[in-house]
């Protein structure tokens, strides 16, 4: 499979590289096929590249990089839809966003992935988590990447 992206150029992929989000992501419910890409310059960042929209790629990180005791509090049904019996077997990622000169992470709506089954869901946590937790201020503008 080939994918031409706006940010990463041409990618040669296997069907097993594609992650399916049956309900899409919040605000992008129509985009259901994604590929998780490693960042070539920073091992702490990955990119969730839409398979259906070449210009959409979201930077994602592990929440424990910024909140060491982060735990996802969600209904058991959310895990069942992923074929997971326990959250410990999931890959949990959170989106990074730029707001003005700040970088923020969304701890309220993590992405939960079952990498074995190649399926994911974005969930809204049941506990009180910030939608925009500032992780860095930038004195220089960032280049647009997603």
Looking at the chain, the whole-number percentage of residues with pLDDT higher than 70 is 93
State the pLDDT confidence band at 61, using cuts at 50, 70 and 90. Answer: very high
pTM of the entire predicted model: 0.85
- Which domains are assigned to the chain? 2-137 (2.30.290.10)
pLDDT (tens digit per residue) in 75-97: 888 888 898 877 788 899 999 99
CB atoms < 10 A from the CB of 96, how many? 19
Q: Is the pLDDT of residue 144 over 60?
A: no
Interval 48-77 mean pLDDT: 92
Q: pLDDT band at residue 135, thresholds of 50, 70 and 90?
A: confident
35 vs 75, more confident: 35
Mean pLDDT, to the nearest integer, of 51-76? Answer: 92
DSSP 28-42: BTT--EEEEEE-SS-
- 3-class secondary-structure state, position 120: strand
Backbone angles phi, psi at 80, to 5 degrees: -60, -40
The number of angstroms, rounded, from the C-alpha of 53 to the middle of its chain's C-alpha atoms is 15
**CA dist list (Å): 88 to 18, 56, 71, 83, 134:** 22, 29, 10, 13, 26
Task: Give the per-residue pLDDT at 26.
Answer: 94
CB burial readout 128-139, b (16+ within 10 A) else e: ebeeebeeeeee
Per-residue pLDDT at 108 exceeds 50: yes
Given a contact cutoff of 8 angstroms between Cβ atoms, the answer to whether 41 and 47 are in contact is no
Transcribe 45-98 into DSSP letters.
Answer: -EEEEESS-TT-EEEEE-GGGT-TT------HHHHHTTT-SSGGGSEEEEEEEE
Provide the pLDDT confidence category of residue 140 given band limits of 50, 70 and 90.
very low
């Amino acid at each position: 499979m080939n994918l031409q992206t706006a940010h990463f150029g041409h990618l040669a992929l296997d069907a097993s590289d594609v992650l399916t989000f049956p309900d899409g992501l919040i605000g992008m419910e129509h985009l259901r096929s994604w590929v998780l890409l490693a960042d070539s310059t920073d091992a702490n960042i990955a990119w969730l590249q839409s398979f259906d929209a070449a210009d959409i790629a979201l930077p994602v990180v592990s929440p424990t990089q910024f909140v060491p005791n982060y735990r996802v509090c969600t209904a058991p049904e959310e895990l069942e839809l992923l074929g997971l019996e326990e959250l410990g077997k999931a890959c949990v990622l959170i989106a990074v966003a730029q707001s003005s000169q700040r970088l923020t992470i969304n701890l309220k709506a993590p992405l939960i992935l079952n990498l074995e089954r190649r399926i994911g869901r974005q969930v809204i946590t049941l506990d009180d988590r910030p939608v925009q937790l500032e992780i860095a201020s930038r004195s220089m503008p960032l280049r647009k990447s997603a």
